Structure 1
């Protein structure tokens, strides 16, 4: 008899049901495109790892390899798609990515498009290929087509001044499980490029946190600086993305070099 199973928990299961952690959730980016790095981070004890298909050197094959590497660990695998495209979203879902972040969602209509992309007809436009795909474990997940929404988490990214203005409406869209705030792009859209710690940007992030929570949805933020992360947790953030594999490697290797090599302090990077 063939093996029957359910997929592992998705991102929303960290907040509701028997698997809820009951505290602020913490995770990190994996941007290197490397399955070994993804596996190392998956065993860190963080709640989730976020494979970055937007800014990282990732294609379908490398994302699949990372999903398989993470699968042996209890943390949740989240994948960020490059943009809000139903064809790409279908492919990422079929790879077995259950928790997706869709970037640059500026309006409720854009959020509805993302929802339609992750749902099968009649509620969406996702193409049906479960017999061919890892998502359903090649039809080894019982009634996958009828239950797919239970296994899928959709997070949309608010990262522009327009999106901040529309945050409450975006969060209210049925099918949106969480909102993820990106202060870096938000700062750029506000004319404050590279100044994600600027008071106006911080205020916009906190306003978005309040608006999303008022809509009854989970909200999180990217914050590599610990003081910023703690501040956003105090403001009510339900999850915080606190680092990235490439940033840890860059800063860690620089710290090693600094122990043994004298450098001009002006050469050190200012961001992250």
Structure 2
């Protein structure tokens, strides 16, 4: 059975830079899987991607030698089971605020006696080039479990969550963390307060020996965050890359875009 190289590299302390997939398009995904990113995350939390589409995307990513990861809609047992049985080699679970939530998510990714993942399916083994029997024996060691810290509550519980066996990495969505830090009247935190909160996540990861990562938008930000000690880093998304490059070309031609709405992507 194939090893999960992204999990191995993170355990060795080496940064792993991938990107997010939002389109759910097979052609775009096949191309992205061959660009050189070690992992690609299919975003099922914020994109209208079906389970059938996701299973196909996991397959074409794995066939290209890249690691398919699924950001599940939420961290419940059913979503995690379906993502892994469809062939994801890891999951990203959003909005993990408490130790109890984290334990439940980790248990859903592991077969007994470690966890409570149900035995069944066949697509999962294909992406690891394994028989079903080998997959059942070794999946607990190879599935990558990434928990998201996206709120002040999650930061307060960070050390206890990050210390849990089976928590392979932590991921911060800076936009969600900023939103969760708003005051009751809707005022956003200052950039300094927001950055201080993210640095608390980084410090907790270093203290517990758990790789932590975050979403950034530029290569310069990737380099900055790696220098600080972040490891599991998402660079933009295929949607962001397409829109940015199209906008850049239009700008070079002194053409005004038809709409400014795309700037938010």
TM-score, scaled relative to structure 1: 0.86
**Partner secondary structure for residue 147 of structure 2:** strand
Match of 1:252 in 2: 245
For the residues of structure 2 that align with 1:152 and 1:121, how far apart are their CA atoms?
14
1:156-167 matches, within 5 Å, as 156-167=147-158
Q: 213, 216, 222: which one pairs with 1:220?
A: 213
**Partner secondary structure for residue 180 of structure 1:** strand
For the residues of structure 1 that align with 2:18 and 2:190, how far apart are their CA atoms?
20
CA contact (8 A) 1:35 1:65 kept: yes
In the alignment, structure 2 segments of 5+ residues that lack a partner are: none
Match of 1:207 in 2: 200
For the residues of structure 1 that align with 2:235 and 2:130, how far apart are their CA atoms?
36
Per-residue CA shift, 1:39-69, capped at 9, x if unaligned? 1111111221111111122111111111121
1:1-272 matches, within 5 Å, as 6-9=1-4, 11-16=6-11, 23-129=14-120, 132-137=121-126, 140-191=131-182, 198-260=191-253, 262-263=255-256, 267=260, 271=264
Summarize the Cα distance change of 1:152–1:23 in structure 2 as closer, same or farther, 3 Å threshold. Answer: closer
Summarize the Cα distance change of 1:204–1:231 in structure 2 as closer, same or farther, 3 Å threshold. Answer: farther
Higher mean C-alpha deviation, range 61-70 or range 252-261 = 252-261
For the residues of structure 2 that align with 1:68 and 1:112, how far apart are their CA atoms?
28
Summarize the Cα distance change of 1:263–1:48 in structure 2 as closer, same or farther, 3 Å threshold. Answer: same
**Partner secondary structure for residue 46 of structure 2:** coil
For the residues of structure 1 that align with 2:170 and 2:24, how far apart are their CA atoms?
24
**Partner secondary structure for residue 63 of structure 2:** coil
The count of aligned residue pairs is: 261
In the alignment, structure 1 segments of 5+ residues that lack a partner are: 1-5
CA RMSD of superposed structures (Å): 2.7
For the residues of structure 2 that align with 1:196 and 1:250, how far apart are their CA atoms?
28
For the residues of structure 2 that align with 1:270 and 1:140, how far apart are their CA atoms?
46
Higher mean C-alpha deviation, range 85-94 or range 118-127 = 118-127
Higher mean C-alpha deviation, range 87-96 or range 145-154 = 145-154
TM-score, scaled relative to structure 2: 0.88
CA contact (8 A) 2:181 2:188 kept: no
Match of 1:3 in 2: none
